[in-house]
């Protein structure tokens, strides 16, 4: 599947910007659709031995602890 994008003009944030180059064009990706949380869980469950419910529980816990660590100012890698 090809990646879709469009060009947007934005302020050049580089230091010592030359006159006439205050704005640059950047490629910005376009979404081609959506995937619901339930659909994601079903897809993961189909490619593993875990049930859809198991996947939902694990992802829910991951999100909870990601938010906790980020709120404490920690970097999650």
CA angle at residue 34 from 44 to 45, to 5 degrees? 10
For residues 28 and 33, what is the distance between their CA atoms, to the nearest angstrom? 16
Residue 62 lies in a domain: yes
The token duo for 39 is 């659909």
Boundaries of domain holding 48: 37-71
Residue 49 lies in a domain: yes
Pure H helices in 9-51? 37-46
Residue 15 lies in a domain: no
Pure H helices in the chain? 37-46, 52-71
β-bridge mates for residue 9, sequence order: 25
pTM: 0.60
Residue 58 lies in a domain: yes
pLDDT (tens place) for every residue of the chain, 77 residues total: 788 999 999 888 877 777 777 888 899 999 989 999 999 999 999 999 999 999 999 999 999 999 999 999 999 99
């Amino acid at each position: 599947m090809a990646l879709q994008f469009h060009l947007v003009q934005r302020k050049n944030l580089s230091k010592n910007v030359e006159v006439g180059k205050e704005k640059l064009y950047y490629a910005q990706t376009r979404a081609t659709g959506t995937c619901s949380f339930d659909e994601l869980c079903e897809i993961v469950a189909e490619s593993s031995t875990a049930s859809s419910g198991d996947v939902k529980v694990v992802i829910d816990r991951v999100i909870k602890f990601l938010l906790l660590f980020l709120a404490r100012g920690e970097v999650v890698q």
